[in-house]
Chains A and B, each alone.
Chain A
Amino acid sequence: MYLDQIEPGETGIVENLAWVGDVARRLRDIGLVEGMEITCVGRSPLGDPSAYFILGSVFALRRADCRRIAVRRCR
């Protein structure tokens, strides 16, 4: 499954990123690496983007970008 399927309140564990180059690096910088816990904490009023809690901070990511981040659901 992919990150966009994680509902608000749910936590996932990152399996891998279908990104290469700059974008992958960018996402890695904010903590999106294999094995990292990521919790969805809310959605924008129009349903996209969503807010995710990663490594102590909250980041907004777009659905289209989340579709390329493979995760497995926690608990």
Chain B
Amino acid sequence: MVERPIQIAFCGNPNVGKSTLFNALTGLHQHTGNWPGKTVESSLGIMKAGGETYHLIDLPGTYSLDARSPEETVTRDYICGGAADLIVVVCDGTCLARNLILALQVLQITRRVVVCVNLMDEARKKGISIDLQRLSRLLGVPVLGTEARKRSSVKKLEKCIVDNIFQPASAPVPIDSPVAESQRIAGLVETRTRSFLQERDRKIDRVLTHKIWAYPTMFLLLAVVLWLTIEGANYPSQWLGAFFQTCQTLLRKGLQALHAPWWLSGFLVEGCAATLFRVVSVMLPPMAIFFPLFTLLEDFGYLPRVAFNLDRPFARCGACGKQALTMCMGLGCNASAIVGCRIIDSKRERILAMLTNNFMPCNGRFPLLITLIPLVFVGLPAGNGAMGALILTGFILLGVLMTFLWSKLLSCTLLSGTSAAFVLELPPYRKPEFLHTIVRSILDRTLRILGRAAAVAAPVGGILWILANVFVGGRSLLAWGSVVLEPIGTIFGMDGVILLAFLLALPANEIVLPIALMLYTQGGGLPPEFSPEATRALLLENGWTWVTALCVMTFCLFHFPCSTALLTIKKESGSTKWMVLAAMIPTITGLICCLLIRLGALLF
């Protein structure tokens, strides 16, 4: 018996359903997606079968063992390290020839391998049949065919793993050219009955990457996603707000019953709890809508086409088209998007993508933008969600433009260098599994991000409360702060209050507007939920004009990333320099834009 747990590693090309099989075997829900490079870190799961416990390791998807991107190195090092008792190489039955390259490379290192030809159903639909027995004979290892979404397939794989775990394996044989060999083997075991260019996918491609229609389609889809996010989030946000209001009252009463001193209950309830509740009620609903929508587009296979359509302008700016994917993700959460930048192979292009990601407003910034739109675009029906979404889309396009501008500027200066070769897989279109997608993206993405935000919101709320309730010379510290910042704010078309709110909201963009309202109402804690109308009335009372609103919106779009995003940049780029730069670039851009807006307005 072995003393350490039995280790079984899963490897395969990107996008072959490896993670789906892995999840089914371990019950661990780990996110899978329809674009290459999804599994960025290898994840571990436990499988129990026949009284034995197995440790399953899901290695990042890779085309070969001698690749260069970070996730591919992980796979290579693990397999070469020899820690695995068995390696399951998952292949895509619809393009066996390519997938066999990796299988053959693994077989050069070890023969403790099971080859799993996945997506047999898709292959059948495409008119491909595969002689699995012959493949097994040619490779000299067990081969089985599976359909990732079928329960029986998973059982079959489980049995195959258990059967083969301690089988003696022969010594690996060197193979001259795995690429040529894989083609030869695939030719021997495959029979194709239909056209092999995947006509259906090409037809969809012709529409989605059409010369004229590609861009309007992209714009429209973006607007629809934003509209659904904003409009759909409205009511749940209000319900959550009302619910938390009750919670807050109960908390306050509870502390009163315990005879807690006023400052303790103030700190805990008006400070920590109020801010935490506010962040959750503003953040949760849009994210719970945006991420499933994003994931559906991702699973369908649309997002790589966006990268395909937009690569040319990115190439012009010395950046990588895959940056389009991370930008889309930035609309959900900039910090997650920065982790997502790992899909970009070249370090130079990856840093470019990280530094400019904040030009995409995350949905924590949507509410402020939406609330202020009617102050700038006077005369538009204020409650019209579709119009709001359209204008917001316009603002996002401004962010895209700024991304290009800065990418170009950076690749001419700090990040100069030649473009790396660009290889982007356009995966086959797949019908997304709606229910699965929604549950998974809420569990994996939304809740994780929410947890991270909640962890910073509560302490910030406490600090905020102290600042608002410690008085020096007749003014609270918070009021002093806004007085000090007033001249700077005025230069840039804003005021001291809103500038202070931006600074204090560093940990969470969601609370910019609440902090500003709290300062305007001179309250000791975050004010209860204001309706957009009441918010606008209060702002106008405090001397806001359309210029102020436009400057604030611009600064909201272009300012330093939240603290989580900054720390993520530091971690991902491995240097404080890039983190500082990532904060400075958007802030400087925002300040310059605000200055120009204010000067421009003076001319009228």
Binding site for B on A (CB under 8 A): 19, 22-23, 25-31, 33, 35-36, 39, 41-42, 44-49, 51, 53-62, 64-65
Contact = CB atoms under 8 A, between A and B. Distances in A.
Interface string B285-315: 0000000000000000000000111011101
Counting from the closest, the 8 A-B pairs by CB-CB distance are A56-B95, A29-B64, A29-B63, A46-B312, A60-B424, A55-B98, A58-B426, A45-B214
B423 A27 contact: yes
B312 A44 contact: yes
Interface of B: 63-64, 66-68, 92, 94-98, 101, 177, 179-180, 183, 196-198, 201-202, 205-206, 209-212, 214-215, 307-309, 311-313, 315, 321, 345, 419-427
B63 A30 contact: yes
A9 to B, nearest CB: 10
B94, B96, B197: residue with the most chain A Cβ atoms closer than 10 Å: B197
B97 A60 contact: no
Contact of B205 (A19, A31, A42, A61): A42
Given A55-B95, A56-B96, A57-B425, A45 B211 contact: yes
A12 B212 CA distance: 28
Contacts of B179: 28-29, 31, 33
B426 to A, nearest CB: 4
B419 A64 contact: yes
A56 B198 CA distance: 9
B407 to A, nearest CB: 16
Contact of A59 (B321, B345, B424): B424
A44 B206 CA distance: 10
A36, A51, A54: residue with the most chain B Cβ atoms closer than 10 Å: A51
22 contacts: A23-B420, A26-B67, A26-B423, A29-B64, A29-B101, A30-B63, A33-B180, A35-B180, A42-B202, A44-B209, A44-B311, A45-B210, A45-B212, A45-B214, A47-B312, A49-B321, A49-B424, A56-B98, A57-B95, A59-B424, A60-B308, A65-B422
B307, B313, B421, B424: residue with the most chain A Cβ atoms closer than 10 Å: B421
Nearest to A64: B419
A25 B69 CA distance: 12
B63 A59 contact: no
Contacts of A22: 68
A27 B422 CA distance: 10
A12 to B, nearest CB: 14
Nearest to A34: B180
A57 B422 CA distance: 16
Given A30-B98, A59-B424, 5 more contacts: A25-B67, A45-B309, A55-B97, A56-B196, A62-B421
B179, B307, B313, B425: residue with the most chain A Cβ atoms closer than 10 Å: B179
Contacts of A57: 95, 98, 425, 427
A35, A45, A59, A65: residue with the most chain B Cβ atoms closer than 10 Å: A45
B308 A51 contact: yes
A23, A49, A64: residue with the most chain B Cβ atoms closer than 10 Å: A49
Nearest to A39: B197
Contact of A51 (B101, B205, B211, B345): B205
Contacts of B212: 45
A41 B195 CA distance: 14
A41 B366 CA distance: 39
B64 A49 contact: no
A54 B201 CA distance: 15
A19 B211 contact: no
B197 A49 contact: no
Contacts of B309: 44-46
B424 A45 contact: no
A36 B95 CA distance: 14
B96, B97, B201, B426: residue with the most chain A Cβ atoms closer than 10 Å: B426
Contact of B311 (A25, A26, A49, A53): A49
A51 B98 contact: no
A47 B177 CA distance: 34
Contacts of B196: 56
Given A25-B64, A31-B179, A41 B197 contact: yes
A45 B421 CA distance: 20
A47, A57, A61, A65: residue with the most chain B Cβ atoms closer than 10 Å: A57
Nearest to A68: B421
A29 to B, nearest CB: 4
Contacts of A65: 421-422
